Amino acid sequence: MCVELLTYADLSARLDISREAARSLARRRRLPRSRSEDGKALVSVDFSELRYTPLPTTRPPGRPDRCSLAKIEAVKIEAFKAEVARLEAVAAGNRADFERERERADRLAVELMQAAAKTAAADAWAARLEDEVALLRTGRQAGGAIAGHAARRLGHLAAAIVEADRAACR
């Protein structure tokens, strides 16, 4: 019967367990404890009576240990960083497309306003010509001949039509 005085660290090294497990074992077995001169706890252990075999560490199936969890988390973080970088690149591409389409829409809006102005001018010109034609029709004489004033108006109308046609061709 050989009794040894060991610290929890020494006991854990001899039994190949953690310091906390050695401390818990000393409490459960009610091993005598005392303090050393440096303030550390000493445990009186008789290894012939102890007969301690640590239980194998078992994990639930499919559950990794802490080291593996840290590696898995690091891999997930890197995957998330890569995904963020990919999404930022996609967003930059979409932003460029948006800017290009906005410039195109602005150009089309200007062209549409110009076309609307030309259409309004053409409508006004057509209304003026219709008024001229109406005046010429009312200015006819009974025999079907056109009076002098009406003939001048018809000449102006023909000139206006030719001018409008030239303007449309430009």
Q: Are residues 30 and 85 in the same domain?
A: no
> Does 90 reside within a domain?
yes
Maximum distance among all Cα pairs of the chain, rounded to whole angstroms:
154
Q: What are phi and psi of 140, to 5 degrees?
A: -75, 150
Provide the residue range defining the domain that includes 15. Answer: 3-50
Q: What is the pLDDT along the chain (170 residues), one digit of tens a residue?
A: 588 888 889 888 888 888 898 899 889 888 888 888 888 889 888 877 777 766 666 666 666 666 777 888 899 999 999 999 999 999 999 999 999 999 999 999 999 999 999 999 988 988 888 887 777 677 654 445 555 666 677 777 778 888 877 777 66
**In angstroms, rounded to a whole number, what is the distance separating the alpha carbons of residues 125 and 160?**
9
Q: Are residues 80 and 21 in the same domain?
A: no
Q: Are residues 71 and 143 in the same domain?
A: yes
pTM of the model: 0.37
> Does 7 reside within a domain?
yes
Q: Are residues 75 and 154 in the same domain?
A: yes
Q: Are residues 89 and 133 in the same domain?
A: yes
Domain count, the chain: 2
> Does 58 reside within a domain?
no
Selection from 40, 7, 34 nearest residue 22 by Cα: 7
Q: Are residues 20 and 104 in the same domain?
A: no
